[in-house]
């Protein structure tokens, strides 16, 4: 199956913010619901797509009164990929921003999110296994970048479950910066996040004005800033020109005998790896 990269969603990378890491339990759903809730409470239109079979975000939001459009993403096979791409396009058109909570597995949900997202948040909670999962997910993101002609996705490393008293210590910061992507303030370890999930409540509604709530608002502000900075119309134009040049070169090449086998699209390479 060939993806149509001339679709408007691919050209603009819409307002899709994916939240992913190949390590489970690092706080993807906590970030997804926290961020979507912060956007909704500051008057932004937002949809949340729950790509996790455990449906944590959807179950979380079912009881809340947040004005967030929630959908599940049942993408367990490549055959449903095209219909999801169409759905993503409609969601972006209808809601502007779409937050996607990804499962901790390589599969069509993650691959399509990396293809579409303008920004990817990678929560990291700094155990040795986390670092391995984070390095793996960043490798896939970089493959996606090169396939997208270097146009996004932008990445933000979000440290999570940080010890409250000491802040981020130097060696920890070194590890975070070692990932080679921008690092934001992140979230400290507050049991209120777990309580908010149990109560089906957004953190800012459960404990308004708390440190846990303020950290989520700071994260939303950092994300909004990154989204503003990643508007890349001139780069899109450059990429389109590059594609036209490539197509022209392909027509010329077609007249010559083939010299090597065609490269698989990046998302197929991800599945093959």
Ligand X SMILES: Nc1ncnc2c1ncn2[C@@H]1O[C@H](COP(=O)(O)OP(=O)(O)OP(=O)(O)O)[C@@H](O)[C@H]1O
Q: How far is the CB of 195 from ligand X (least distance, A)?
A: 8
Instruction: Decide: is 193 part of the binding site for Mg ion (CB under 5 A).
Output: no
The enclosing H or E element of 155 equals strand 154-159
Q: How far is the CB of 29 from Mg ion (least distance, A)?
A: 3
- Among ligand X, Mg ion, none, residue 193 binds (CB under 5-8 Å by kind): ligand X
3-state SS assignment for residue 168? coil
Interaction mask 13-42, Mg ion, x per CB under 5 A = ---------------xx-------------
Q: What are phi and psi of 14, to 5 degrees?
A: 35, -140
* Tokens coding 19: 């939240």
Smaller CB separation from ligand X, 40 or 124: 124
Out of 117, 187, 226, 239, which residue is the one contacting ligand X (CB under 6 A)? 187
Smaller CB separation from ligand X, 64 or 160: 160
Q: How far apart are CA 76 and CA 108, in angstroms?
A: 7
Q: How far is the CB of 188 from Mg ion (least distance, A)?
A: 19
Q: How far apart are CA 13 and CA 121, in angstroms?
A: 15
Q: What are phi and psi of 100, to 5 degrees?
A: -115, 120
3-state SS assignment for residue 123? strand
Smaller CB separation from ligand X, 29 or 112: 29
Enter the DSSP assignment of 6.
T
Smaller CB separation from Mg ion, 52 or 154: 52
Instruction: Decide: is 107 part of the binding site for ligand X (CB under 6 A).
Output: no
Enter the DSSP assignment of 263.
P
> Which residues are CB-contacts of 137 (< 8 A; sequence separation ≥ 6)?
20, 21, 22, 122
CA neighbor of 38 nearest in space, from 219, 227, 161: 219
Tell me which stretch binds ligand X (CB under 6 A): 50-58, 141-149, 223-231, 233-241: 50-58
Instruction: Decide: is 118 part of the binding site for ligand X (CB under 6 A).
Output: no
Smaller CB separation from Mg ion, 102 or 144: 102
Q: How far is the CB of 57 from Mg ion (least distance, A)?
A: 7
Cα Rg, the chain, nearest whole Å: 19
Out of 160, 201, 226, 266, which residue is the one contacting ligand X (CB under 6 A)? 160
> By the 8 A CB rule, do 137 and 102 touch?
no
Smaller CB separation from ligand X, 95 or 161: 161
Chain residues binding Mg ion by CB under 5 A are: 28-29, 52, 56
């Amino acid at each position: 199956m060939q993806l149509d990269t001339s679709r408007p969603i691919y050209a603009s990378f819409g307002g899709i913010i994916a939240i992913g890491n190949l390590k489970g339990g690092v706080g993807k759903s906590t970030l997804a619901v926290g961020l979507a809730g912060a956007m909704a409470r500051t008057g932004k239109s937002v949809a949340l797509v729950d790509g996790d079979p455990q449906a944590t975000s959807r179950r979380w939001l079912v009881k809340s009164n947040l004005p967030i459009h929630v959908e599940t993403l049942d993408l367990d096979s490549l055959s449903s990929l095209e219909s999801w791409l169409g759905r993503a396009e409609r969601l972006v058109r209808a809601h502007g921003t779409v937050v996607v909570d990804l499962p901790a597995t390589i599969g069509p949900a993650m691959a399509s999110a990396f293809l579409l997202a303008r920004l990817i948040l990678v929560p990291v909670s700094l155990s040795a296994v986390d670092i391995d999962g984070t390095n793996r997910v960043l490798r896939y993101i970089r493959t996606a970048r090169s396939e997208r002609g270097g146009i996004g996705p932008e990445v933000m490393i979000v440290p999570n479950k940080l010890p409250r008293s000491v802040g981020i210590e130097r060696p920890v910061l070194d590890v975070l910066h070692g990932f080679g992507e921008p690092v934001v303030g992140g979230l400290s370890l507050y049991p209120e996040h777990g309580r908010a999930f149990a109560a089906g409540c957004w953190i800012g509604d459960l404990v308004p004005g708390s440190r846990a709530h303020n950290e989520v608002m700071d994260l939303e502000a950092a994300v909004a800033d990154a989204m503003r900075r990643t508007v890349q119309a001139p780069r899109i134009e450059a990429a389109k020109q590059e594609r036209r040049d490539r197509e022209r070169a392909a027509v010329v090449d077609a007249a010559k005998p083939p010299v090597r086998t065609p490269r698989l699209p990046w998302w197929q390479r991800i599945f093959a790896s």
